[in-house]
Amino acid sequence: MCQTLELWSFGLAVVCAIMFAVQGLLQHRFFVTLERSCPTLWEALASKPNRMDATDLSGTAGAQWFLLKGDFSQLVDAALVVRGKRTRMAAIAFLAVFGTWGLFVWVTQALPRLTCIPGLGV
């Protein structure tokens, strides 16, 4: 049987997972569209040095920073700017919810348990 705090922790973890998937899909679509419509800008982002490049993810850090700073608002394509704003809002919302969940777990010490899944309780 789950306690109330564990249920909250499990619920926040599920919301984080859903938000992560949604913002990941939005970012992928935004970056693919950016790469197709502005290849010179994409090459410039990919050529920025990436200190966290443990694998071959060229341009990932530069593109993420480009998105989070809102530099896309200077683009000529209005549809791409709107897509960038939505993607940026989704990324910021995910980070806020993930931070809230992390703080909740840190303060309450209530980790989500698989037994909190309805029908799976042991």
pLDDT along the chain (122 residues), means of 10: 82 92 93 89 72 51 83 87 93 93 91 74 54
What is the four-CA torsion angle of 22, 94, 64, 51, rounded to 10 degrees?
-120
Q: How far apart are CA 33 and CA 12, in angstroms?
A: 31
Note the pLDDT of residue 54: 46
Q: Do 99 and 79 form a contact (C-beta atoms < 8 A)?
A: no
Note the pLDDT of residue 21: 95
pTM of the entire structure?
0.77
Per domain, the residue ranges of the chain are 4-43+60-113
Sign of CA dihedral 44, 47, 52, 56: positive
